[in-house]
Amino acid sequence: MDFNLNLKALLWRMEELYKEKEIVSRTFEGRERYTYGQLTSEVRKLANMLRGEGEVVGSMAWNTRRHLEMYLAVPLLGKVLHTINVRFHPREVDYVVETAGDTVLFYDQDLEGTISSLSTKVRKVALDERWDNQVDSWDELNTLPDVEERRGAILCFTSGTTGRPKGVVYSHRSIFIHSLALLAGDVMGITSKDVVMPAVPMFHISAWDVPFASLMTGAKLVLPGPRPGPKELADLIQEEKVTMAVGAPTVWISFLDYVKRERVDLSSLKLIVTGGAEPPVSLLKGFRELGVKTYHAWGMTETEAITTINSSQEPEEFRKQGAPMPGVEFDVISPPGSSLPWDGRTSGELMVRGAWVTGGYFKDEAKSKESTIHNLEGLWFRTGDVVTIDARGNVKVVDRYKDLIKSGGEWISSVDLENAIMEYEPILEAVVVGVPDEKWGERPVALVVPKAEFRGKLKEDDVKRHLESLNRFPKWWIPDRVIFVDAIPKTSTGKMDKKEIRASINRLRE
Amino acid sequence: MDFNLNLKALLWRMEELYKEKEIVSRTFEGRERYTYGQLTSEVRKLANMLRGEGEVVGSMAWNTRRHLEMYLAVPLLGKVLHTINVRFHPREVDYVVETAGDTVLFYDQDLEGTISSLSTKVRKVALDERWDNQVDSWDELNTLPDVEERRGAILCFTSGTTGRPKGVVYSHRSIFIHSLALLAGDVMGITSKDVVMPAVPMFHISAWDVPFASLMTGAKLVLPGPRPGPKELADLIQEEKVTMAVGAPTVWISFLDYVKRERVDLSSLKLIVTGGAEPPVSLLKGFRELGVKTYHAWGMTETEAITTINSSQEPEEFRKQGAPMPGVEFDVISPPGSSLPWDGRTSGELMVRGAWVTGGYFKDEAKSKESTIHNLEGLWFRTGDVVTIDARGNVKVVDRYKDLIKSGGEWISSVDLENAIMEYEPILEAVVVGVPDEKWGERPVALVVPKAEFRGKLKEDDVKRHLESLNRFPKWWIPDRVIFVDAIPKTSTGKMDKKEIRASINRLRE
């Protein structure tokens, strides 16, 4: 039987099986809460309102119920929701809106600053408007098309530190299969008894499809709203009895610091899933002390969401990104393109393919060609990540190709050094970059944020001695300089902005 | 990216991620055990050997490693494995082999009796032959086609109690999605740490895809081999530390009786999943006393495998078949075809559709047309089951349309009566059928198997008084006769054979 794996099948579950299930959405003022039944009624109103729109509808919004309604309503019409990173510069927003061809842009009101600076002529609608003002005919609400499963549902642009953002389209099919895979016991194992909080932004990589997966199985969904800080996340977890939360390592680093200081009760919380950058082992250990498991996941804009999960609670194993989920396949290749052994030692570029991996970029043939290769096994996407893979398929990201440091003709892994520095108790965050050096080509330099109580008390040599004491690195790996800073520059998706960091170090040296 | 959800993607996982995982296969003599890596090597040998075969390859075999190798090798070539019910009469085997167009039939040696009685000229190969005798070129082993996901993989014929068997084709895609769905926490939640034993036969409904799902996530798989009885199942569970086992209610009824009598240690076992017929509540209670959960699932040949799961451990809820899994949709209709309310009371025919529901029968347009309807929502398969659905989508099978008893113009549910009789402590099994009656049209008659220790001691009136004492049924529901028997006639798939039962009651009356 032909059965489209589309969002209408998700809507069916929400309307027929889970009407009474709950959704909580944090606002600036407090919390809104409603049922799946009320959500789907809003979705049908919005869909009705958007019938006349063009093929691509833009959103610039936080993790809120209104954004969730757009997540469903726009694709249900066979149109594409273009989620725009709220941290983009207005020039980047102009670029992606024009490239995507948005006919309307819905935005959260606190983003009016960016919105008012845009040059694009796209129509802008604040997200506080009520959909139901727009409904003329209630009959129409019941007829939604059975969208072909390979049709695009969500469009997301990368926030690469180099070059212009590149668009990636997620289809109904890829969302459905990825969401189903998230429910697997060896992945997240979300069930109808869980309370799930995606602290990864819905404006980027569809919040890893975690909202869709939660709705698919009838979990209670907690949306942390605009600009959530550690206190807001902790309050939601405590008061809504969150069992699973998903977010980038930086989110959980400051969260963990906060909950330890404030002695927050995390008894409902079973699982933190983190990814987007390598989480420090201190995160695993910190949460373990509080009785919470931490899973390490890996994905990128081009793989829609996560493609691996590592549930190991052993520090050494935890540092790996994990093995591919059902529906995804990996390989590791040498620069000319031949497969390398999966021995946990030989490193090369990670290649991915699968049911939710992109085959190329939106309207960008040149970049698409550059990022994919065909071999005997078919089409693969080139990740640009340097990895090893072990005999059980566990991937370890050694570095980004462009972030490796080449010193005296040898490679130094900035990621390894960063993690080693963060194992040092007084350190909150660290980043290591290569800076030009006359003698060695490049040399590593570390930017370090000490924990509040250690500010001003820590010396450069303390950090260097810590690294040496680990007996893990050759002497020439130890960074030449350790610079103490209050914060590390981040990209719009919360990753450490190495391009900006290198530039500021160079400014310091001048 | 186009990525086929096919069995090659499953093979990839087995070869790349789970090489060292274990498979145990019970034989008449003992147990064979090997790794996924060894299994896939055998699969590649077999695939090589079968390259020259026709499109359909037959198997008549138990749950063994050789059969598992066929499950993979045949579909990996783009051919269809036709699994034949070992309990079919030779005439039925002839019919399905000819209808399917098998060019070769592999069989387990203990089935030589049936095999030697066949009229079909199909080539027959005993399953004890080693595949590797046939391998000429090892290079060829590495090239398997990337089969289009909608292509057929397994063909299974119904074992309907009326009429000729009807063929249903399961595609690569439907097997992949269904297997993925079985991993979900709200379904079976199989993980790589589980030890899974399918006691449902691989010769029918692909053992509910449980072997595929287990291999997809790297679970240890225990195949109970030829003609397993309660002792064989208990030994395997104890010695292989099985955590999940799947089988029909009749299997678990005699198993529970055995483990209680023999005080078998079931400490590894967490979960029994049962379906194929409504399990008596005594099963839930019996396993609960031993610390084992029982889930109630529902499916049919035409839905490939299970489509619902009910994890409730409350006796009243447990009697329901559960809510549809992600990827499946239900409706309940009145005879003319209009939707009925989901109120847990209104009964009508169950309609299903979804990613692993058939759209029609193999080479049988008339039956296909009869069994499907198109409405505004699209295509649906008519199950022939009379059900109610509650507000949370939980299905309760009231009866088969053809098994309802019409007495004095009112309907009597044979299933309700059977379950009520089985609640009576001295009773092992019961079946209720309608027999012709001059005055009332039809009247219910019960066939009852007492437990060993109650044989010869129980009277007809004891059973009737038990039914009356429940205060659950109108007086005219109480069966006119209760007949004590040693065993209840079963169909080839272990269901109570109501056609045969009615015939023998009629013989008794003559």
* Residues in B 8-37 with any Cβ partner in A closer than 8 A: 9, 12-13, 16-20
* Residues in A 121-180 with any Cβ partner in B closer than 8 A: 146, 177, 179-180
**Residue at which a domain ends, from B345, B361, B389:** B389
CB neighbourhood size of A192 (10 A): 18
pLDDT above 90 (res A270):
yes
Task: Give the residue from A400, A371, A403, A382 showing the smallest Cα distance to A330.
Answer: A382
A393-407, B4-18, B88-102: least confidently modelled range? A393-407
Residue B301 distance to chain A (closest CA, Å): 14
Task: Give the residue from B156, B476, B422 showing the smallest Cα distance to B281.
Answer: B422
Catalytic site includes residue A208: no
- Mean pLDDT over all residues of chain A? 92
Q: Are strands B481-484 and B441-450 parallel, antiparallel or unpaired?
A: parallel
Three-state secondary structure string covering A427-462: EEEEEEEEEEECCCEEEEEEEEEECHHHCCCCCHHH
* Domain co-membership, B375 together with B351: yes
A159-173, A451-465, B336-350, B429-443: least confidently modelled range? A159-173
What number is the average pLDDT over the span B143-162?
87
Residue with tokens 């296909």: B368
Q: What is the pLDDT of residue A132?
A: 62
Q: What is the pLDDT of residue A441?
A: 82
What element of type H or E holds A257? helix A249-262
Pull the structure tokens for residue A106. 């819905």
Q: What is the pLDDT of residue A402?
A: 74
The distance of Cα A338 from the centroid of its chain, to the nearest Å, equals 30
* Domain co-membership, B168 together with B240: yes
**Full residue range of the structural domain in which residue A297 is found:** 7-389
Please count the structural domains in chain B. Answer: 2
Cα separation, A215 vs A382, in Å, equals 32
Residue B100's φ and ψ, nearest 5 degrees, are: -75, -25
* Domain co-membership, B380 together with B445: no
- Mean pLDDT over all residues of chain B? 92
Chain-chain contact of A217 with B186 (C-beta, under 8 angstroms): yes
**β partners of residue A411:** A406
Task: Decide which of A427 and A130 is more confident.
Answer: A427
pLDDT above 70 (res B140):
no
Catalytic residue among A114, A158, A161, A303: A158
- Exposure pattern of A435-467 as b/e (b: 16+ CB <10 Å)? beeeebebbbbbbbbbeeebeeebeeebbbebb
Does the residue B381 lie in any domain?
yes
Pull the structure tokens for residue A275. 């990814």
A295-299, B153-157, B488-492: least confidently modelled range? B488-492
Task: Give the residue from B219, B198, B220 showing the smallest Cα distance to B209.
Answer: B198
Does the residue B1 lie in any domain?
no
Catalytic residue among A411, A451, A459, A476: A411
pLDDT above 80 (res B249):
yes
Q: What is the pLDDT of residue B183?
A: 98
Chain-chain contact of B326 with A217 (C-beta, under 8 angstroms): yes
Chain-chain contact of B391 with A181 (C-beta, under 8 angstroms): no
Task: Give the residue from A175, A141, A138 showing the smallest Cα distance to A156.
Answer: A175
What number is the average pLDDT over the span B347-352?
94
Cα separation, B428 vs B250, in Å, equals 10
* Domain co-membership, B408 together with B380: no
Q: What is the pLDDT of residue B375?
A: 79
Residue B418 distance to chain A (closest CA, Å): 29
Catalytic site includes residue A302: yes
Tell whether B321 lies on the interface with A, counting CB pairs under 8 A. Answer: no
What number is the average pLDDT over the span A38-46?
93
Q: pLDDT over 90 for what percent of chain A?
A: 74
* Residues in B 47-106 with any Cβ partner in A closer than 8 A: none
Tell whether B430 lies on the interface with A, counting CB pairs under 8 A. Answer: no
pLDDT band at residue B137 using 50, 70 and 90 as cut-offs: low
Interface size A-B, in CB pairs within 8 Å, comes to 126
**Residue at which a domain ends, from A337, A366, A389:** A389
* Domain co-membership, B415 together with B366: no
| Residue A233 near residue A255 (C-beta atoms within 8 A) | yes
Cα separation, B262 vs B251, in Å, equals 16
Cα separation, A180 vs A189, in Å, equals 10
Which residues of B are less than 8 Å from A368 in CB distance?
none
Q: What is the pLDDT of residue A137?
A: 52
pLDDT above 80 (res A207):
yes
Does the residue B300 lie in any domain?
yes
| Residue B454 near residue B421 (C-beta atoms within 8 A) | no
pLDDT above 70 (res A257):
yes
Nearest Cβ partner of B190 from A1, A185, A323? A185
Chain A residue nearest residue B145, CA to CA = A377
Does the residue B396 lie in any domain?
no
Catalytic site includes residue A411: yes
Chain A residue nearest residue B394, CA to CA = A17
Chain-chain contact of B12 with A329 (C-beta, under 8 angstroms): yes
pLDDT above 60 (res B161):
no
Chain-chain contact of B18 with A191 (C-beta, under 8 angstroms): no
Chain-chain contact of B326 with A13 (C-beta, under 8 angstroms): yes
Q: pLDDT tens digit string along A315-342? A: 999 999 999 999 999 999 987 678 999 9
Pull the structure tokens for residue A146. 């059975």
pLDDT band at residue A249 using 50, 70 and 90 as cut-offs: very high
Amino acid sitting at position A463? V
* Domain co-membership, A149 together with A63: yes
Nearest Cβ partner of A216 from B326, B342, B353? B326
CATH number at residue A505: 3.30.300.30
| Residue B63 near residue B207 (C-beta atoms within 8 A) | yes
pLDDT above 70 (res A43):
yes
* Domain co-membership, B314 together with B461: no
pLDDT band at residue A53 using 50, 70 and 90 as cut-offs: very high
Task: Give the residue from B152, B194, B142, B186 showing the smallest Cα distance to B172.
Answer: B152
Q: What is the pLDDT of residue B231?
A: 97
Does the residue B117 lie in any domain?
yes
Catalytic residue among B411, B451, B459, B476: B411
Q: What is the pLDDT of residue A129?
A: 66
Residue B379 distance to chain A (closest CA, Å): 8
Residue B158 distance to chain A (closest CA, Å): 17
Catalytic residue among A92, A149, A302, A429: A302
* Residues in B 190-219 with any Cβ partner in A closer than 8 A: 190-192, 216-218
Catalytic site includes residue B406: yes
pLDDT above 90 (res A152):
yes
Cα separation, A138 vs A136, in Å, equals 7
Chain-chain contact of B323 with A17 (C-beta, under 8 angstroms): yes
CATH number at residue B123: 3.40.50.12780
* Domain co-membership, B56 together with B195: yes
Nearest Cβ partner of B186 from A192, A323, A378? A192
* Residues in A 347-386 with any Cβ partner in B closer than 8 A: 353-355, 357-359, 378-379, 381
Chain-chain contact of A1 with B353 (C-beta, under 8 angstroms): yes
* Domain co-membership, A117 together with A160: yes
Residue B391 distance to chain A (closest CA, Å): 7
* Domain co-membership, A182 together with A264: yes
CB neighbourhood size of B116 (10 A): 9
Task: Give the residue from A16, A11, A20, A10 showing the smallest Cα distance to A43.
Answer: A11
**β partners of residue A154:** A81, A170
The SS3 of residue B191 is coil
Tell whether B391 lies on the interface with A, counting CB pairs under 8 A. Answer: yes
pLDDT band at residue B450 using 50, 70 and 90 as cut-offs: very high
A261-275, A478-492, B17-31: least confidently modelled range? A478-492
Chain-chain contact of B3 with A327 (C-beta, under 8 angstroms): yes
Does the residue B399 lie in any domain?
no
Does the residue A398 lie in any domain?
no
**Residue at which a domain ends, from B363, B389, B415:** B389
Residue A273 distance to chain B (closest CA, Å): 16
Q: What is the pLDDT of residue B162?
A: 53
* Domain co-membership, B209 together with B319: yes
A105-119, A368-382, B385-399: least confidently modelled range? A368-382
| Residue A367 near residue A385 (C-beta atoms within 8 A) | no
Which residues of B are less than 8 Å from A19 in CB distance?
391
pTM of the model: 0.88
Cα separation, B496 vs B178, in Å, equals 27
* Domain co-membership, A380 together with A465: no
Dihedral sign, Cα of residue B34, residue B37, residue B41, residue B43: positive
CA distances from A8 to A74, A155, A170, B377, B506 (A): 11, 18, 15, 11, 51
Which residues of A are less than 8 Å from B20 in CB distance?
392
Residue A304 distance to chain B (closest CA, Å): 11
What number is the average pLDDT over the span B389-407?
87
pLDDT band at residue B133 using 50, 70 and 90 as cut-offs: low
Tell whether B326 lies on the interface with A, counting CB pairs under 8 A. Answer: yes
What number is the average pLDDT over the span A351-365?
93
